[in-house]
Amino acid sequence: MPLTVLTSACRLKPLCRLQRIQAHMMSGHVEREVLLEKAGRAAVITMNRPKVLNALNLSMIRRIHPQLQKWESDPETDMVIIKAAGGKAFCAGGDIRAVTEAGKVGDSLAQDFFREEYMLNHAIGSYRKPYVAIIDGITMGGGVGLSVHGRFRVATEKTLFAMPETAIGLFPDVGGGYFLPRLRGKLGLFLALTGFRLKGRDVQRAGVATHFVESKKIPELEQRLVGLESPSDSDVSRLLESFQTQSDLDSDKPFVLDKHTSDIDRLFGSSSVEGILQNLKADGSEFAKKQVEILSRMSPTSLKVTFRQLQAGAAMSLQDVLVMEYRLSQACMRGHDFYEGVRAVLIDKDQNPRWRPPSLDQVSDRFVDDCFASLGEKDLRF
């Protein structure tokens, strides 16, 4: 059926909305959503959906992953660079709306998207050649998964990093359970629970990016990277460090959370989310009051799942974390809060989600246990 007929025939039905999304994904536009090119001995991936902030969809994943594998075994390819078109976003996240519609009607996209995205995240994390992510712009959710597990992550003053998933009834996935607890102190847990946004040089200071380079220097950096002959990790590192040395923008400003670092470690150092909230309320500082206000808006289920995810992930390999997170993703697909969060934040935009259950004390340990339970034959396998 032509897409125009499909649209007019069933404009409001979830299944038809999903069919329209899938028809678009399979259209000729797919070729332009991500560009895969060779430049000398470097391979270049360009996210190319600037109108939707380069949101990652399944067709993009299915183009990037096999090509990454080919380049990894290609003797003519020494390095991979991933960047984005448009100047505003590297990748603002996954194509959540499509996944939401799929989950509502039981379409396989709700499994396929997470499974294949996480397999791509693992491929990046275990890549044998230098992998350079130029995160010049908004980098959230799926964009974090495309960058943070790679050897080199270059932030600019335009970089905006966040993992805001607890606000939509999800959890910081794409390997968040691996890299967040490995940030210093309780910073990763703080970022995961609150969705706090890091900007510019602070993305590197937090340890999310490995380097900071001013945006205006990025074209020259790309040119120099492409010009490297048979570069090793150390060659790439030296080049990035030389560009970082030339970038003094905001170097005199302290890390945005500097004055709160010890507070975060102390207040978020509890053995439960309830304990963290008790600490914050007892502290009474303006910073603590602000965090109580923020956490009170998040999905109670997401907060408890995220806390346990990071607790467990701190001692796991990336591969094991991704297996765990796939189980969590499917628990979210079976539940209520993810659909309600997407409705409130992304669709109706009333910013008034009705979480179920509505409070932390109603989210039982048994329910959280079930979210982490094996899916048997449906588990993610590498």
- Nearest alpha carbon to residue 142 among 80, 33, 51, 56: 56
Among residues 33, 78, 94, 222, the one annotated as catalytic is 94
For tokens 């028809």, the residue is 23
Burial call 176-187: b when 16+ CB within 10 Å, e when fewer: bbbbbbebeebb
173 is annotated as an active-site residue: yes
Query: Per residue of the chain (382 residues), what is the pLDDT tens digit?
Result: 433 333 333 344 444 554 544 444 444 444 489 999 999 999 999 999 999 999 999 999 999 999 999 999 999 999 999 999 999 999 999 999 999 999 999 999 999 999 999 999 999 999 999 999 999 999 999 999 999 999 999 999 999 999 999 999 999 999 999 999 999 999 999 999 999 999 999 999 999 999 999 999 999 999 999 999 989 999 999 999 999 999 989 888 999 999 999 999 999 999 999 999 999 999 999 999 999 999 999 999 999 999 999 999 999 999 999 999 999 999 999 999 999 999 999 999 999 999 999 999 999 999 999 999 999 999 999 9
Cα(81)–Cα(221) distance, rounded to whole angstroms?
11
Among residues 142, 177, 335, 341, the one annotated as catalytic is 142
Cα separations in angstroms, 172 against 177, 361, 377: 7, 22, 24
348 is annotated as an active-site residue: no
Three-state SS for 154-178 is EECCCCEEECCHHHHCCCCCCCHHH
93 is annotated as an active-site residue: no
Neighbours of 377 (CB within 10 A): 6
Paired sense of beta strands 160-162 and 138-140, if any? parallel
Among residues 33, 165, 202, 340, the one annotated as catalytic is 165
Give the start-to-end residue ranges of the domains of the chain: 34-378
Complete DSSP assignment for 239-301: HHHHHHHT--TTTTSPPTTGGGHHHHHHHT-SSSHHHHHHHHHHH--HHHHHHHHHHTTS-HH
Q: Which class would CATH give 34-378?
A: alpha beta
pTM over 0.75: yes
Cα(62)–Cα(72) distance, rounded to whole angstroms?
16
